[in-house]
Amino acid sequence: MKNIAVIYKSKYGATKKYAEWLANELACPIFEFSKTKDLSKYETVIYGCPILADTISGAKKFATIKTLIIFTVGLRNPSTSNYEAITKTLPAKAKVFHLRGALNPANLSPLHKLGFKFLKNVLSKTPIENQTEDDKTLLDACTKKVDFTDKSAILPIVKHIKELEKAISVDKL
């Protein structure tokens, strides 16, 4: 697939890491979201963005892109988390993948530090036996560096792109 680009927004580095891995694997250009202007030459955009406070921003910029693939990055475990409320705000045509990120509380912005302090206060009130895996992960992230980034997590995205390429090749026959 020649007309493909990886575009990312990254607050603390995990989304950028995944975007770089994808661009390298797919041998395609990579752009930071704020530096993208004219995307008309790309039929496919892979857009990576963090989930911050259960929100995803920037996806509407790609409304005119023929094929949109979105990967979100957050601390929740994608295999056990429900992202329905978050993904319903995304363009319906988008194929969405969820990846686990990383966080170092020492690097948080003042606003995010305040948010994590509030989150820690709320989650700490939940009895340990009632805490989910995600609750425990978020509590850990409030006080220590956590890193769940994993290069193999991009493989389903790469596989999806390869399947699209195959379908396009068959259509051209």
Quick count: other Cβ atoms within 10 Å of Cβ 32?
Answer: 12
Break the chain into its structural domains and give their ranges: 4-103+147-172, 105-144
Residues linked to residue 50 through DSSP beta bridges, in sequence order: 73
Fold of 4-103+147-172: Rossmann fold (3.40.50)
CA 79 – CA 168 distance, rounded (Å): 30
pLDDT, residue 69, reads: 93
Q: 10-residue block means of pLDDT along the chain (173 residues)? A: 86 95 95 88 92 78 86 87 78 88 90 88 89 85 90 96 78 53
User: pLDDT at position 56, please?
Assistant: 80
Contact (CB, 8 A) for 67 and 160: no
Residue 6 confidence (pLDDT): 96
